[in-house]
Amino acid sequence: MSLAGRDDPSKGGCYEDRPAVTTPAPQPPPSVLAPPLLDAQGRRMTYLRLSITDRCNFRCSYCSPASWGGKRDLLGAEELERITSVFARMGIRRVRLTGGEPLIRPDILDIARRIAAVPGIQHLAITSNASHLERLAAPLREAGVTQLNLSLDTLSAETFRRISKQGDIGAVMRGLDAAARAGYASLKLNVVVLRGVNDEEAPALVAYAHARGFTPRFIELMPFGQGTPVPTAELVERLQASGLPLTPEPDDTGDASGPARYWRAPEGRVGFISPLTQNFCGSCNRVRVASNGDLRSCLGGRAQAPLHQLIRGGASDVELAVAIRRALGDKPEGHRFTEPGNGATLLSMMGIGG
């Protein structure tokens, strides 16, 4: 059959033999990659919390329910770098690696180096239980990590076992000491306060933290796991009654990287994070990506965008940016933790990266 016959049905050809001509779908303009990155309320997002695993070697009662099995399809180092690069082009300047326990990833140093080297990223922080820091504190600093937020809920080995039956308080203490020696620009000590468990230890934890160059931060228990919260105002009164002078800092001098409000004590600052009694949503500048690549626009919601599926499906940076902006367009004004019945619909802290 001649080529001409392919175009002439009367000569036995058929138009269907020719490749179909398709018109490419219109692409959004590259400006979707340009700052600012705003949510539905007009809040500017500059801070990415990037979970790299939802598994942990401690399984604390308030964070990790026994039924939590974890995600299996985690993002690789290159995928984490790609997502961070897109966010950086859109205006993200601070990244925090979270978990689970991020330091159980065998490629944690590679991940840290990649993220720290992304153009536009000015600060790289890690939240950890400190159990692996004895060997990793210095290498992580060399890899580009500038800040560590480390968890220590008690100074008592007995209470520690009550909160985390799998944890090792000795490894935590050695890790904290290694972090203090490593020369980080910022070290914070996070304490989740549980009524009747560790709330009486607050003064001792402040003294312990300040003696080692840490800023202690007391966190109201959120409705994700077991335990009873202690309101921040009550805890401040307890600390003052113990003889610790506390003076509130003006809001405009606080740490803009997170939701804590700070008070000044003789030996340093003391922070309080109060999601239930002093809602911090109005100044939210954070967006979260879970360990499997799901973007979650709010700590207390379920709206998400499957960035991992887009990446593995060959999406361009522009297409990723469109999905990110669309998800943030659904971000609510607040977390709604206290609404009746809402706790039953929340994921565990491990499931959303804290």
Annotated binding-site ranges: 49, 56, 60, 62-63, 96, 100, 127, 151, 188, 222, 281, 284, 286-288, 298
Binding-site positions for S-adenosyl-L-methionine read 62, 100, 151, 222
Burial of 306 (0-12, 13-18, 19+ CB in 10 A): middle
Q: Give CA–CA dist 328/256, Å, rounded.
A: 20
Please report which helix (H) or strand (E) contains residue 134, including its range: helix 133-143
CB atoms within 10 A of CB 268: 15
The CA-based angle 190-171-191, given to 5 degrees, is 15
**Residue set of the binding site for [4Fe-4S] cluster:** 56, 60, 63, 281, 284, 298
Do the beta carbons of residue 246 and residue 264 sit within 8 Å? yes
Please, are residues 124 and 144 in contact by the beta-carbon 8 Å criterion? yes
Q: Is 70 exposed, middle or buried (0-12, 13-18, 19+ CB in 10 A)?
A: middle
How many C-beta atoms lie closer than 10 Å to residue 327's C-beta? Answer: 22
| Tokens coding 33 | 């990659």
- Residue carrying the six token digits 């890690």: 126
Beta-bridge partners for 296: 288, 304
Q: What is d(CA 199, CA 195) in angstroms, rounded to the nearest whole number?
A: 6
